[in-house]
């Protein structure tokens, strides 16, 4: 039997040969095994499919793989039929997706069984919050890959095209087929001729990979760009302006996908400025796009400063409009009713809007989960969300089935993820943040995949060392599996729950510091700031208890959920403890299922999250022999910073809430190392 030290020597030797910086993402494969690819037609997309097979084939040497574009009623959209040596699809992008699936099976040691794989959603889209000046709102991986500031901001370079090509390749490998190129807080300049010409250049690079481009628009563009006195969606001049603009766009980009719209939200203009409804605004745009096959993605992220409960406003505004939207309008709904929090119940709009296409909006970039510093695998969150029972059509009415066309006859199905991609060498700011981009794409294609499956796939493709791959010893592979794959995957699967525990356990939410949405700030409430932009609005802590009362006797947000959820959430005895303080304001001595008081339970959750990050550091340190030195050191540095941040979250929240609970922190919990005054004043250089 080969000793572990021998394996370590083998792998460490490989490190000097295979230095890694993360730029290859999960597409690190290289192969010298020959394969014969047969295809009876040619095109840019099929040429890419052939090339990927030839440079990555890891099957039988000299095997023949046949690629065939067919007409098969069992294959839907860009789906494909795959076997060991054959890929069939109705479309050329389907062939490309099948190629990547075949290669993924080889890279992850999965048996390639004959099967048909159809996408769960027609539109699988990345939303880039990129600005014309090259900055990215809530971007943590450097500047925009599409835009930049300065006199040459609209110039297209060969380096630009190379970056876009690698971006498109990565997206195609996981089934993503759309990209919104700019921020939902849109600049009207995006619809000018110069920006449309650059968008055309981007589209030309992405097109062979099966990716369409979309643009976020400013609803007031007719008045801001066109000089009209109004942007009223029922004004004939406004309608004509949009029709002319859409005609111009399609003359430049014939396969343009459509518009993403943020309207009457956070100060953005919209149809309500003119006494019109969301349906009026969305339908006007949909009518202009329909002749070209374009769609409108209309965001349901709306809330007003005078609302008694921000969590309920989207439902109140959109439910009365169900059935009034054109068929090429898709309402884009954030996974939770507030704002991409570490944990939220699903938005009650899912399943409730039965006559309107509804698409989930997930956030890949970790605005509220440690940004580019913390290791948090979001697949666990998304799996929880997609599998949530809405009960709208009885048992089995999960969010996934309510949005993918399984239950409601939606002509268009879609899912969107807010991108975490930037100009950083490793694309995402954190090597493990790449896993969230990967997991989003795979879930968009197959919303039944588990976070366990996704984690294992990504680890094998991202970290398996070439020396181990090329070694004839099965014992080397076994050592890698037992000492790297299993513990690293477990760390990833536990990471989201750890973050919830050291940030906002038991249903707490939106208690971040200031505007950066990073560190703790349950105390943050400057004078003059609207209440729903301050944490006390959400945690409602006082000497009597803590939590937001959304029961029938409170804000009544529970009434937006279908039975039996309505009653379950409303009753403190049946409400899941993970949502307890989301729906209930409870006394500090409320008895939890563990037998502890609410205060003690809160303390133990914060401690558990903090200690789990400490455990993650140990797991990563133990994995050093199986890693290249660069990525090991970079992730180690991030984990050390995350550990300090978790300590700060735990100390700040417990010391702050202790002022109201007036109870001692349990003695078996590690006492705070900070003082509250220092944290509140910002005297904590570690963040």
Catalytic residues: 266, 339, 367
User: By the 8 A CB rule, do 367 and 334 touch?
Assistant: no
User: By the 8 A CB rule, do 462 and 136 touch?
Assistant: no
d(CA 409, CA 529) in angstroms, rounded, equals 44
Report how far Cα 236 is from the mean position of its chain's Cα atoms.
Answer: 38
Separation in Å, CA 443 to CA 360, 377, 493: 12, 13, 16
d(CA 613, CA 644) in angstroms, rounded, equals 9
Q: Residue 102: which residues within 8 A CB-CB, separation 6 or more?
A: 53, 65, 82, 87, 112
Q: How many CB atoms lie within 10 A of CB 16?
A: 9
User: 3-state class of 215 per DSSP?
Assistant: strand
Radius of gyration of the chain (CA): 26
**Residue ranges of E strands in 211-288:** 212-217, 258-261
β-partners of residue 366 are: none
Phi-psi region of 153 (alpha: psi -120 to 50; beta: other; left: phi over 0): alpha
d(CA 358, CA 333) in angstroms, rounded, equals 7
Of 273, 270, 290, nearest in space to 184 by CA = 270
Pairing mode, strands 357-363 and 329-334: parallel
d(CA 313, CA 307) in angstroms, rounded, equals 7
d(CA 97, CA 365) in angstroms, rounded, equals 24
């Amino acid at each position: 039997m080969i000793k572990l030290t021998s394996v370590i020597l083998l792998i460490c030797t490989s490190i000097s040969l295979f230095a890694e910086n993360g730029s290859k993402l999960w597409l690190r494969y290289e192969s010298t095994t020959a394969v014969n690819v047969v295809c009876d037609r040619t095109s840019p997309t099929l040429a890419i499919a052939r090339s990927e097979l030839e440079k990555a084939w890891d099957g039988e040497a000299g095997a023949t793989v046949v690629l065939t574009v067919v007409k098969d009623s069992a294959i839907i959209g860009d789906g494909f039929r795959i076997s060991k040596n054959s890929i069939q699809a109705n479309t050329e992008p389907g062939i490309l997706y099948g190629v990547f699936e075949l290669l993924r099976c080889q890279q992850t040691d999965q048996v390639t069984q004959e099967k048909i794989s159809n996408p769960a959603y027609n539109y699988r889209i990345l939303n880039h919050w990129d600005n014309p000046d090259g900055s990215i709102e809530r971007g943590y991986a450097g500047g925009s890959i599409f835009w930049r500031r300065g006199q040459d901001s609209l110039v297209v370079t060969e380096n630009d095209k190379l970056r876009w090509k690698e971006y498109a390749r990565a997206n195609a490998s996981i089934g993503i087929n759309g990209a919104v190129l700019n921020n939902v807080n849109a600049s009207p300049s995006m619809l000018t001729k110069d920006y449309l010409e650059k968008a055309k250049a981007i589209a030309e690079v992405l097109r062979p990979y099966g990716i369409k481009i979309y643009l976020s628009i400013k609803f007031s563009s007719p008045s801001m760009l066109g000089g009209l006195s109004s942007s009223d969606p029922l004004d004939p001049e406004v309608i004509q302006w949009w029709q002319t603009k859409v005609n111009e766009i399609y003359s430049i980009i014939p396969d343009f996908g459509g518009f993403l719209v943020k309207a009457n939200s956070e100060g953005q203009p919209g149809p309500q400025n003119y006494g019109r409804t969301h349906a009026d605004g969305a339908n006007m745009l949909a009518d202009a796009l329909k002749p070209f096959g374009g769609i409108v993605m209309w965001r349901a992220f709306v809330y007003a400063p005078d609302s008694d409960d921000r969590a309920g406003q989207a439902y109140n505004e959109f439910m009365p409009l169900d059935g009034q939207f054109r068929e090429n309008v898709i309402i884009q709904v954030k996974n939770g009713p507030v704002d991409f929090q570490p944990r939220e119940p699903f938005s009650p709009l899912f399943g409730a809007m039965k006559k309107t296409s509804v698409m989930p909006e997930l956030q890949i970039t970790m605005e509220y989960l440690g940004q580019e510093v913390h290791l948090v695998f979001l697949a666990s969150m998304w799996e929880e969300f997609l599998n949530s029972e809405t009960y709208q059509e009885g048992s089995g009415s999960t969010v996934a089935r309510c949005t993918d066309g399984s239950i409601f006859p939606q002509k268009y199905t879609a899912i969107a993820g807010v991108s975490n991609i930037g100009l950083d060498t490793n694309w995402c700011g954190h090597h493990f943040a790449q896993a969230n981009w990967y997991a989003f794409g795979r879930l968009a294609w197959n919303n039944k995949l588990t976070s366990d499956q996704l984690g294992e796939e990504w680890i094998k493709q991202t970290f398996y060392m070439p020396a181990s791959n090329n070694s004839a010893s099965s014992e080397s592979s076994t050592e890698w599996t037992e000492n790297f794959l299993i513990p690293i995957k477990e760390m990833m699967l536990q990471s989201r729950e750890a973050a919830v525990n050291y940030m906002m356990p038991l249903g707490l939410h939106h208690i971040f510091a200031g505007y950066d949405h990073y560190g703790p700030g349950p105390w943050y409430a400057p004078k003059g700031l609207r209440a729903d932009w301050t944490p006390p609005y959400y945690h409602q802590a006082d000497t009597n208890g803590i939590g937001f009362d959304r029961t029938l006797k409170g804000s009544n947000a529970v009434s937006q959920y279908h039975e039996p959820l309505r009653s379950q959430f409303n009753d403190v005895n049946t409400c899941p403890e993970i949502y307890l303080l989301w729906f209930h304001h409870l006394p500090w001595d409320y008895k939890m299922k563990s037998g502890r008081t609410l205060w003690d339970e809160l303390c133990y959750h914060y401690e558990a999250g903090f200690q789990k990050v400490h455990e993650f550091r140990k797991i990563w340190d133990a994995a050093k022999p199986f890693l290249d030195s660069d990525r090991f050191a970079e992730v180690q540095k991030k984990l050390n910073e995350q550990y300090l941040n978790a300590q700060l979250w735990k100390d700040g929240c417990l010391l702050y809430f202790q002022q109201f609970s007036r109870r001692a922190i349990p003695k078996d919990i590690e006492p705070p190392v900070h003082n509250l005054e220092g944290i509140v004043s910002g005297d904590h250089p570690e963040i």
